[in-house]
């Protein structure tokens, strides 16, 4: 991004607290014939629990916590003048 003329104001990974579960899920999916939308189905209540974890993570990021690793990367940047 710097090479493209942007100044990085903030960078953090997110989906960090769920990274171990995400990696385990992907490993288990490789061992089964689960594909497509089947892989996206979760047991009842799981979506709510995961959403709660992600909401907590968003709160931490808003407080200034940066995560070194996660499922996604958030970068806030502006064009340098």
Tens digit of each residue's pLDDT (9 = 90 or more) over 66-78? 999 999 999 999 9
Single out the residue of 52, 48, 42, 45 nearest to residue 22, CA to CA: 42
- Which pLDDT belongs to residue 11? 94
Residue 78: CB partners within 8 Å, gap ≥ 6? 6, 7, 9
- Over residues 18-27, the mean pLDDT reads 84
Residue 61 above 60 pLDDT?
Answer: yes
- Over residues 31-49, the mean pLDDT reads 71
Query: What is the pTM (predicted TM-score) of this model?
Result: 0.70
**Which residue carries 């903030």 as its tokens?**
10
| Domain ranges, ordered by start, for the chain | 6-33+44-79
- Which pLDDT belongs to residue 58? 95
């Amino acid at each position: 991004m710097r090479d493209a003329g942007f100044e990085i104001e903030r960078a953090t990974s997110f989906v960090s607290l769920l990274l171990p579960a995400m990696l385990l899920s992907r490993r288990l999916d490789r061992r089964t014939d689960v594909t497509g939308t089947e892989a996206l189905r979760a047991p009842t209540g799981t979506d709510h629990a995961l959403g709660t974890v992600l909401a907590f993570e968003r709160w931490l990021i808003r407080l200034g916590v940066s995560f070194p690793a996660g499922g996604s990367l958030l970068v806030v940047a502006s064009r340098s003048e």
